[in-house]
Homo-oligomer: A and B are copies of this chain.
Amino acid sequence: MQAADPLAFGAEGGLFRRLRDTAGADWTGYTWHPFVQRLSDGTLPLKAFQHYLIQDYLFLIHFARAKALAVVKGESLEAMRAKAAGVLAILDETKLHLRFCAEWGLSEAEVTRVPETAETVSYTRWVMDRGLAGDILDLEIALAPCTVGYGEVARRIMADPACDLANNPYRSWIEAYAAEDYQALAQSAAARIDFLGVTHGGDARFNRLAADFAEAARLEQRFWQQGLVAA
């Protein structure tokens, strides 16, 4: 019997877990990227974090648009309500980013004027395009690695012996994703993939879905990587 993986979200045997495990090194390379490791041990240069956070701000705007596309898909009233609330939650999350930026002396107007990098454009528009080309399952598969992956990133950091949270300069960022409410959000996003896998033919479509899931993980890796390169 396979031992339970304390890092993984989603049910054993469910579609999310199968996609995660199939992604293998692509997934680990994302959720335990050197950028994350240095967030964890607190050695990440501030400049790297700043570059990342500003791009993540721009990212979230388009991520909210992609979530809105999931409302357009109209799978059920319940799913529409949850996703519309998710859009608002993401748009609120941008305010958190702006608070960080304000601490660094960057105003909203300045942040918004920063050009999107290729890493930001490629990831966000690829998600939108999977949503345009595919159905709700394709779209949610493109969205999930971000939502669930950040939950796993936080779990990995919290389990990291090198992480001394009390003295970590990125403590508030880490705690935002380690918090119970975010962890519950990540769990419910994984559970939704499991659900859609059953209703929308996940088994028959597994190869294509796995390719998309792994592509999203690689796009996340590049997204972290741009921060390291910028520092």
Q: Which residues of A contact B (CB under 8 A)?
A: 61-62, 64-66, 68-69, 71-74, 77, 80-81, 84-85, 87-88, 91, 94, 118-119, 121-122, 125-126, 128-129, 132-138, 198-205, 219, 222
Contact present for B87 and A84 (CB under 8 Å)? yes
User: Can you list 8 pairs linking A and B with CB atoms under 8 Å apart?
Assistant: A61-B74, A61-B77, A71-B71, A85-B88, A119-B122, A125-B125, A129-B129, A134-B135
Bound together, the chains give a CA A199 to CA B205 distance in angstroms of 6
Give CA–CA (A222, B116) in the complex, Å.
13
Contacts of A119 in B (CB 8 A): 118, 122
Q: How far is the CA of A161 from the CA of B86 in the complex (A)?
A: 46
Give the 4 A-B residue pairs with the shortest CB-CB distance, closest first: A201-B201, A125-B125, A68-B71, A122-B122
Copies in the complex: 4
Q: How far is the CB of A217 from chain B (nearest CB, A)?
A: 13
Given contacts A121-B126, A126-B121, contact A133 B74 (CB under 8 A): yes
Q: How far is A137 from B208 in the complex, measured between Cα atoms in Å? A: 14
How far apart sit A71 and B71, CA to CA, in the bound complex (Å)? 10
Contacts of A91 in B (CB 8 A): 77, 80-81, 84
Shortest CB-to-CB span from A75 to chain B, Å, is 8
Q: In whole Å, how far is A210's beta carbon from the nearest beta carbon of chain B?
A: 14
Residue in contact with A65 in the complex, picked from B71, B88, B134, B219, CB distance below 8 Å: B71
In the assembly, what is the distance between CA of A122 and CA of B136, in Å?
22
- Measured CB to CB, the nearest residue on chain B to A71 is B68
Which residues of chain B are within 8 angstroms of A138 by Cβ–Cβ distance?
135
Most chain B CB atoms below 10 A, which of A73, A126, A198: A126
Q: Return A18 CB to nearest CB of chain B, in Å.
A: 15
A120 CB → nearest B CB, Å: 8
A65 engages B61 (CB within 8 Å): no
